[in-house]
Amino acid sequence: MITEIRIYKLKENAASEFHKVFAEQSLPMMKRWKVNVVDYGFSLIDKDSFYLIRSYENIEQRKESQEAFYGSDEWINGPEKAIMGCIDTYNTSVVNSEKLIINKTDSK
């Protein structure tokens, strides 16, 4: 398994519009397309940063899934323009999920 972490830096005053389109159009579309969304939301320290975490079986499955999703008429004629109009920049990291470590603190 792999995990993709995408961080969007939104344009000034675009957070509300981005969230509306994401929640009402993009997220339901990802669910219809069987994209495994692990988590999403706004940064706790930057109101103009939004994260999206998705998981895939492997790099090839990620590539196929994203090419199909972002190349679809549903995306292109749907939320693409509104979503992209809100984004200033974004960065993507893909990591091996098997190597992710969750630190736990003993409460002794």
Question: Residue 100 has what pLDDT?
Answer: 61
Q: Does residue 105 lie within any of the structural domains?
A: no
State the total domains in the chain.
Answer: 1
Q: Which residues form the domain of 82?
A: 2-97
Dihedral angle sign, alpha carbons of residues 8, 55, 32, 74 = positive
Task: Read off the CATH number of the domain in which 7 is found.
Answer: 3.30.70.100
What is d(CA 70, CA 62) in angstroms, rounded to the nearest whole number?
Answer: 12
**Could you read off the pLDDT of 16-42 as tens digits, one per residue?**
999 999 999 999 999 999 999 999 999
Indicate yes or no: pTM above 0.85: yes
Residue percentage of the chain with pLDDT more than 70:
91
Give a yes or no: residue 103 inside a domain.
Answer: no
Residue 104 lies in a domain: no
Give the pLDDT of residue 104.
45
**Using one digit for the tens of pLDDT, what is the confidence trace for 36-67?**
999 999 999 999 999 999 999 999 999 999 99
